[in-house]
Chain A
Amino acid sequence: MTFVHFIQLLLVAAILLGVGLPLFRGLSKTRLFKPVNPEIEEYKHLLVRKEEVLLSIKELEFDFKTDKISEEDYQGVRNKLELEAASILENLDRLEREKKSAASRPAKAT
């Protein structure tokens, strides 16, 4: 066996060890993903939307301050954004409430 062959063998052995070890650690029963929870996905999305709408309100204020938008339009857009923010907050609250009640139900049952 030449030195080159030895190095090649070493490389293959190291790779096989690297990818093979997890297969023999008795993890096969562990599940990779929990089923996707649509509530969590919606909650995540709403949190991002909440941030974006709040940032949009800030930006709108800045645009108003720098004279890009009239007072009338500013009020109109601001109202719309505030309504959107309120609806997002409402939905977030709803999801939190639902989660809490779902968590307390089995506790009461026991």
Chain B
Amino acid sequence: MNDIGEFALLVALATALYGCVSYIMAVRGNRVDLYLSADKTPLIVWGCVAIASAALWRAFLTDDFSLQYVWAYSNREMGTFYKIASFWGGQKGSLLFWTFLLTTYMSVAYLQNRKKNVALMPYAMTVMLVIVVFFLFLLNFSTNPFERIPLPPEDGRGLNPLLQNYWMVIHPPTLYLGYVGFTVPFAFAMAALITKNLDDGWIRLTRKWTLLAWFFLCLGNLFGAAWAYVELGWGGYWAWDPVENAAFMPLLVATAYLHSVMIQEKKDMMKVWNMSLVLLTFVMTIFGTFITRSGLIQSVHTFDEATLGYFFLGFLGVVIAICTTLIIKRLPLLKSKNELDSFLSRESSFLFNNLLLLGIAFATFWGTIFPIISEAVRGVKITVGPPFYNQVNVPIGLALLALIGIGPLIAWRRATLSNLKKNFVKPVAAALVAGAALFPFLPLDGRADILAYIAFILCVFVMGCILSEFFKGTAARMDLHEESPLAALSALTWRNKRRYGGYVVHIGVVLIFAGIAGSQAYGTHDQKHLQKGESIQIRDYTVTYERLLAKEETSIKSRVIAQLGVYRDGRRVWTGNPEKEFYKGSNQPVSEVDVLSSWKEDVYLILADFTEDEAATIKVYINPMVSWIWTGGWVIAFGTVVCMWPDRLEERRRVMRQKKQDAAFSPAQE
């Protein structure tokens, strides 16, 4: 099966190359036979990559250590769950997984559009196939997952213990689905540029794809944060690590695009901006891959054998050069015919939101590449840590939060100042009341405290704005259609899925902001070396060290568990069991934290160390409002699903347009 898998990768490369060439020749020579031949290649390439992926999965599940990759990332003791996930545990497999997802997306986009969009399809497919060729080239000639070991060992080294967590099965695929998903809008945008078909057809075509990729990237980032929180054992969820940044930047640019594209749809303007944003999003995803696989930046996320930097740098350079050239060449066609009606309009607020999102993205980009630049220029690697990002991004983030509230209350095209004042009275009043109510309870000693206080006030303001939007919309519908409040609310949301689904997403963002503000400003921790029966007193909690347990889990894994009684006001509320896991062949034990989570705060326990006399070093964190971040993530997911839900009215409009066009330009008349 390994031979077949390896061969399938080679055949996939040859087929993808043939597909690129034949699509181009078909279009240039206007030849339908070549086109039909090329048109088979997306599915064939997917089939071949699927065969290769199945072969690698089979090797993992059958403990085939004749493959160097399986030997490096699996062993006989690992459960099926982790053997499946080991597929993307290292560079080679993760590249194959990336290619598998990419070809899957390509095939679905192909099946969905091959009859609807004949003008764009050959170009979009060529762009996607070129990207596939790049990845297949790496898989075949630089980082082959089917590389053999001449004398297969009895057992493998096993997956990095840090990766043996259930999030390993969820986080990388979700993130990859996001990263790879942006290839589809990129390919159609490139197709539009090449064919000069620059109305908003390609945007409508890829709207759902962009949302889907954004959805996965957003969830991928949050799942990564949740994983870091429970696995890395430092009490936090985000460290501005270069690889975290690499996943965060495309999310920011894509968010800017999702907003500004609405202006193009409504007013037929900002074509250059939107085109640039969608291309930049794709570039950022490749940049993220470059960061992880170049070996230039050290991070817990980078791959051990990160040696593909030059390939990705070259690819990145070619993509940027082509995109820039095409945009410059098409500038006359991308010129807007319309302009903003008024400075005080929803469009303007979207423009500001774009600037702020790109501001955060740029600051993050600068902080990420600064160590590389400093090393190249001065020969000294200067690491940029969280203080830089917090200093720059937090104020911009707060301005962005305020805009989330302001935007929806401003009318499209032109808003009236007096009406705006009227609309803002209630949310502003609610924010001021919340500010006054919180003032006696929240410390305002340092910058972090003050920023968190401002964030809470803004969160209340934004929630007030969003809820007033729902309230006013429902009231207007009740008035117009004589509906009950519930019927009016559901009809309002259902008939304007994008708008109200978007508001739900904003509620999720507000929850995340509140969670970040609370946990960053008001968290505390303590660490003590305890004998049995001794306690740590922290805030309202008393954490008592009760005993140490040792367990042999498997022949290669053992656990040492500390039992801790957690008391609040003298009453036992929880028994925490943080532990250290020891893996045969690994020098470093892995900390498994234990968390008591509530909407108010998390009690986060770490077994930092222990001695032979059964004394233990225990670290306790009190992290307020962390659960708000995860809840916010689920709310965002729900809101995005509402936005993505198929819209029958829109489909009907599309069909009607097609009928009208057919009637006006029927073949009989041509």
Contact = CB atoms under 8 A, between A and B. Distances in A.
A32 B412 contact: no
B412 A56 contact: yes
A106 to B, nearest CB: 10
- By size class, the interface of chain A is 35 or more
Contact of B657 (A8, A39, A48, A73): A48
B35 interface: yes
A25 B33 contact: yes
A43 B661 contact: yes
B669 A77 contact: no
A48 B39 CA distance: 29
Contacts of A90: none
Given A11-B11, A19-B15, A62-B476, A4 B4 contact: yes
Contacts of B409: 68
B4 A99 contact: no
Interface stretch (B243-251, B290-298, B391-399, B413-421): B413-421
Contacts of B416: 68-70, 72-73
Contacts of A7: 4
Interface string A47-65: 1110110011001101101
Given A22-B36, A32-B32, A63 B412 contact: yes
B139 interface: no
A32 B31 contact: yes
Interface string B3-17: 110011001000100
B389 to A, nearest CB: 36
B669 A99 contact: yes
A23 interface: yes
Interface string B612-649: 00000000000000000000000000000000000000
A47 B189 CA distance: 21
B452 to A, nearest CB: 31
Contacts of B653: 51
Interface in A16-51: 18-23, 25, 27-28, 30-33, 36-37, 39-41, 43-45, 47-49, 51
Contacts of A45: 199
A20 B40 CA distance: 10
A47 B661 CA distance: 8
B37 interface: yes
B419 A32 contact: no
A63 B411 contact: yes
Nearest to A72: B416
Interface string B399-410: 000000000011
B418 A70 contact: yes
A86 interface: no
Contacts of B197: 41
Contacts of B35: 32
A100 B15 CA distance: 46
Contact of B661 (A21, A44, A81): A44
Nearest to B416: A70
Contacts of A96: 664
A37 B37 CA distance: 26
A102 B670 CA distance: 8
Contact of B3 (A8, A60, A62): A8
Contacts, number: 149
A103 B266 contact: no
- By size class, the interface of chain B is 35 or more
A95 interface: yes
A30 B30 CA distance: 8
Max chain B CB contacts within 10 Å: which of A15, A31, A33? Answer: A15
Max chain B CB contacts within 10 Å: which of A66, A80, A99? Answer: A66
B36 A77 contact: no
Contacts of B200: 48
B519 interface: no
A7 to B, nearest CB: 6
B335 interface: no
B422 interface: yes
Contacts of A80: 341
Given A8-B4, A60-B411, A96-B664, A20 B37 contact: yes
Given A18-B40, A27-B36, A77-B414, A52 B266 contact: yes
A47 B473 CA distance: 28
Interface in B19-41: 22, 26-27, 30-41
Contacts of B119: 33, 36
B32 A67 contact: no
Contacts of B199: 41, 44-45, 48
Contacts of B415: 68-69, 73
A105 to B, nearest CB: 11
Nearest to A64: B411
Interface in B196-251: 197, 199-201
B411 A69 contact: yes
Nearest to B475: A66
A60 B513 CA distance: 31
A83 interface: no
A47 B475 CA distance: 32
A81 B265 CA distance: 15
B413 A77 contact: yes
Contact of A60 (B27, B51, B413, B422): B413
A8 B413 CA distance: 61
Contacts of A47: 657, 660-661
Contacts of B33: 22-23, 25, 27-28, 30
Given A4-B3, A80-B341, A12 B657 contact: no
A77 B347 CA distance: 14
Nearest to A102: B669
A69 B30 contact: no
B233 to A, nearest CB: 46
A39 B665 CA distance: 9
A45 to B, nearest CB: 5
Contact of A65 (B22, B480, B657): B480
Contacts of A11: 4, 7-8, 11, 48, 51
Contacts of B138: none
Contacts of B411: 60, 63, 68-69
20 contacts: A8-B7, A11-B7, A15-B15, A18-B44, A19-B18, A19-B38, A19-B41, A25-B36, A32-B27, A32-B35, A43-B665, A47-B661, A49-B268, A52-B265, A59-B412, A60-B412, A63-B411, A65-B476, A69-B419, A103-B669
Report, nearest first, the 8 A-B pairs whose CB atoms are least far apart. A22-B36, A70-B416, A103-B669, A63-B411, A27-B33, A68-B411, A66-B472, A30-B32
Interface of A: 4, 7-8, 11-12, 15, 18-23, 25, 27-28, 30-33, 36-37, 39-41, 43-45, 47-49, 51-52, 55-56, 59-60, 62-63, 65-70, 72-73, 76-77, 80-81, 95-96, 99-100, 102-103
